[in-house]
Chains A and B, each alone.
Chain A
Amino acid sequence: MQRLLWGLAGCALALFGAGAANAQNTVKIGLIMPYSGQFADTATQMDNGIKLYMKQNGDTAGGAKIELIRKDTGGIAPDVAKRLAQEAIVRDHADILAGFVLTPNALAAADVSAEAKKFMVVMNAATSIITTKSPYLARTSLTTPQLNYTLGTWAAKNGIKKIYTMVSDYGPGIDAETWFQKGFKDGGGEIVGSVRFPVANPDFSAFVQRAKDSSPDAIYVWVPGGAQPAAVGKALAERGIDTSKTKVLGQDALTAESALKSMGDQALGIIMVANYDYNLSSPTNQAYVKAYNDEFHRNPDFFSVGGYDGMHLIYAALQKTGGKTDGDSLIAAAKGMAWESPRGPMSIDPETRDVVQTVHIFKVEKVGDELRNVEIDKVPNVKDPGHMTH
């Protein structure tokens, strides 16, 4: 009998304790990312950006304490991502869903955000349709059309008349190809040929040779990050592509730090489009890079900035709603939010809830002894053109 009474007392205390914790007003964020598996490095960079933001700005916002609940999807696994999103809301009582490196996972979780009416911040996944899947969704990273359409029109206007495109044969690659070609044609250029390579392709020489056969002014390449950028860069150099005669254009991952180290001087002259690179010269960015270096002993990349700005959006939205965490209030607060990020000025489009930002064009040059992406041009306030066709 005594044991039963103690047990009941214990339960009561626990219940009250839980209630008391809630009274302190904690905002829980379900952070759903591929922490293990082949995308783990991307998740690490994003997580670092998040951690840095919280270190610099404390762990309270809008009067509430921020608590992160990390969940691992293990890679491309939309069924797991959906379950983790549901569990975050139902079991862990999360108010906000965030993270999302991969498009299939983001799409699956967006369904949950729409059904449960929870604010969701996509910090990396770059396919346009994601923001249409839930009215409570905002994105702080980039969209593939945003970068590639801009690069296409820029290339056509900067002396390139004929181009050959090569992309990886899956969603993001095909997306990049479609929008780059559209931008290039809209700018008056001519596509002389195109090819798609298989996703896990180790050897690019056959494709580069085909590109060379068409004698273009430039070659556009899109590959996902990892081993492929360096492999393709080397294949281009080995097949005799001279970047001063035949320009090479690509998107962020093509000239990532590890790829540059691997390619060496063969990378000189590659032109790249990105929303961020650690070499940007603004004072905001230089402070960010220094803080990031001090904390994590490596240079930040565009993944980290997606996480950093994602947290900023959450904090600013909570500030604006005064701590209210329901989906409607938060998304209303997020719409139109504008701020200065390490990448430059950015804002959340009130109609599409997608990111509006400056698109930078870089060229690989030698700075001192090292290869760096040096900014050569930029286009401010670029909206996602992918929404314009809807």
Chain B
Amino acid sequence: MPPVFGVLFDGIAYGMLLFLLSVGLSVTLGMMNFVNLAHCSFAMLGGYVTVTLMNALGWPFFATLPVAFAAAAAASVVLERVFFRRFYNASDLEQCLLTIGVVFVSIAAAAYIYGTDQQPVQLPDFLRGSIAFAGLNFAVYRLFLIAVALVITVVLVAALETTRFGAQVRAAVNNQRMARGLGIDVDTLFAVTFALGSGLAGLGGALAIAMVGLDPSFAFSYLIYVLIVVSVGGLGSIGGSFAAAMLLGISDIAGKYYVPAIGSILIYLVMMVLIMARPAGLFGRR
């Protein structure tokens, strides 16, 4: 197989990671129009939970993943109840400012507790190394990541399409006022969705450590990528986030393989062209 397939595979894995990190923000933005720039702080929290459990308490890697999810979800519930829900009707700017403040505090807290250097994590042996197939090497960890992301995507889409909860979520994203009018408890719905989205981000953060590292600046550095995925994919759409994440992951990596001099420029150009062509995003509604 020509080496480009190996590169594409890596691009898909990277895209899957971006998807996990972004899907929560896309849905909550689409549903409540609440600009939560602190979304990646929850991802960072998940990452640090995994690091603590593994390095300080000796837990196995797999066991830490559900805890990372739960911790991020729990933290988001607390923040949402105490804080965020008072600002659902505030202006975009105020929401930005509030959540940026939360990001700053989270970065400082992480630096205080864990220090500013990289947090290494030792994966179990069967997740290390690569599999040789058809003359190419496929990293085991990336296969694992793709598998996890696909499973989650299937579960999310199934939940959205087949459960009552999913129907309510779709209704609230489509037309919040109408949904409220029909008696759907949008506030609780939103709290649950917010928790789920943040939990997924936490899981993404935990999975990201072995691929891209973890330090206190994670909350900021990945925010830009997540915003790109969300705005290109369209607010409130899981399919949109998936497509956008794949597109960005693949074009970024393919660009770097074929024309390295372009580097990061390609991802920003692609984003701008797509947004100018379809301002509501690939699968967006507004």
Which residues of A approach B to under 8 Å, CB–CB?
A: 37-38, 40-41, 44, 169, 195-198, 200-203, 205-207, 209-210, 212-213, 226-228, 230-231, 234, 237-240, 258-259, 261-262, 264-266
B7 within 8 A of A: yes
**Which residues on B sit within 8 Å (CB–CB) of A264?**
122-123, 128
B111 within 8 A of A: yes
Closest Cβ of chain B to A232, distance in Å, is 11
Chain A, residue nearest B263 (CB) = A198
State which of B14, B122, B215, B217 has its C-beta within 8 Å of the C-beta of A202.
B14
Chain B, residue nearest A227 (CB) = B213
Knowing A197-B263, A259-B118, the reply to whether A226 touches B213 (Cβ < 8 A) is yes
Name 21 A/B residue pairs within 8 A (Cβ), A-sorted: A38-B116, A41-B116, A198-B256, A205-B6, A205-B253, A206-B7, A206-B253, A207-B256, A212-B3, A213-B3, A230-B120, A231-B213, A238-B141, A239-B6, A239-B130, A240-B130, A258-B117, A262-B120, A262-B122, A262-B213, A264-B128
Beta-carbon contact of A209 and B118 below 8 Å: no
**Which residues on A sit within 8 Å (CB–CB) of B119?**
258
B 259-271 binary contact with A (CB < 8 Å = 1; else 0) = 0110110000000
Main secondary structure of the interface of A (DSSP, over half): helix
Beta-carbon contact of A200 and B264 below 8 Å: yes
Provide the bound-state CA to CA distance between A261 and B212, in Å. 14
Chain B, residue nearest A166 (CB) = B260
Within B195-239, the residues touching A (CB, 8 Å) are 210-215, 217, 221
Closest Cβ of chain A to B52, distance in Å, is 15
Beta-carbon contact of A197 and B137 below 8 Å: no
B170 within 8 A of A: no
**Which residues on A sit within 8 Å (CB–CB) of B211?**
202-203, 231, 234
Provide the bound-state CA to CA distance between A74 and B164, in Å. 50
B142 within 8 A of A: yes
Which residues of B approach A to under 8 Å, CB–CB?
A: 3, 6-7, 10-11, 14, 111, 115-123, 128-130, 132, 137, 139, 141-142, 210-215, 217, 221, 252-254, 256-257, 260-261, 263-264
Q: A38-B215, A206-B254, A209-B7 are in contact. List 11 more A-B contacts (CB 8 A).
A: A196-B263, A206-B257, A209-B6, A231-B211, A231-B212, A238-B142, A239-B137, A240-B132, A258-B120, A262-B121, A262-B210
Provide the bound-state CA to CA distance between A219 and B105, in Å. 41
Beta-carbon contact of A227 and B116 below 8 Å: no
**Which residues on A sit within 8 Å (CB–CB) of B118?**
226-227, 230, 258-259, 262
**Which residues on B sit within 8 Å (CB–CB) of A239?**
6, 130, 137
Beta-carbon contact of A40 and B111 below 8 Å: yes
Knowing A237-B129, A239-B137, A262-B121, the reply to whether A205 touches B10 (Cβ < 8 A) is yes
Provide the bound-state CA to CA distance between A262 and B120, in Å. 5
Provide the bound-state CA to CA distance between A209 and B263, in Å. 15
Beta-carbon contact of A210 and B215 below 8 Å: no
Closest Cβ of chain B to A36, distance in Å, is 8
**Which residues on B sit within 8 Å (CB–CB) of A207?**
256-257, 260
**Which residues on A sit within 8 Å (CB–CB) of B115?**
41, 44
Provide the bound-state CA to CA distance between A285 and B141, in Å. 39
**Which residues on A sit within 8 Å (CB–CB) of B117?**
41, 258
Knowing A209-B3, A238-B130, the reply to whether A203 touches B212 (Cβ < 8 A) is yes
**Which residues on B sit within 8 Å (CB–CB) of A40?**
111, 116
**Which residues on A sit within 8 Å (CB–CB) of B141?**
238
Closest Cβ of chain A to B165, distance in Å, is 34
Provide the bound-state CA to CA distance between A259 and B253, in Å. 23
**Which residues on B sit within 8 Å (CB–CB) of A231?**
211-213
Provide the bound-state CA to CA distance between A151 and B256, in Å. 27
Closest Cβ of chain A to B123, distance in Å, is 8
State which of A44, A203, A261, A266 has its C-beta within 8 Å of the C-beta of B116.
A44
Knowing A205-B10, A231-B213, A239-B6, the reply to whether A261 touches B260 (Cβ < 8 A) is no
Beta-carbon contact of A226 and B215 below 8 Å: yes
Closest Cβ of chain B to A224, distance in Å, is 12
Provide the bound-state CA to CA distance between A196 and B128, in Å. 27
The 6 A-B residue pairs with the shortest CB-CB distance, nearest first, are: A227-B213, A261-B120, A206-B257, A198-B263, A238-B139, A205-B10
Provide the bound-state CA to CA distance between A38 and B111, in Å. 10
Closest Cβ of chain A to B189, distance in Å, is 34
Beta-carbon contact of A261 and B252 below 8 Å: no
Provide the bound-state CA to CA distance between A255 and B84, in Å. 43
Chain B, residue nearest A230 (CB) = B213
**Which residues on A sit within 8 Å (CB–CB) of B260?**
195-197, 206-207, 210
Provide the bound-state CA to CA distance between A239 and B123, in Å. 18
Beta-carbon contact of A237 and B111 below 8 Å: no
Provide the bound-state CA to CA distance between A234 and B130, in Å. 10
State which of A205, A226, A227, A258 has its C-beta within 8 Å of the C-beta of B7.
A205
Provide the bound-state CA to CA distance between A238 and B263, in Å. 21
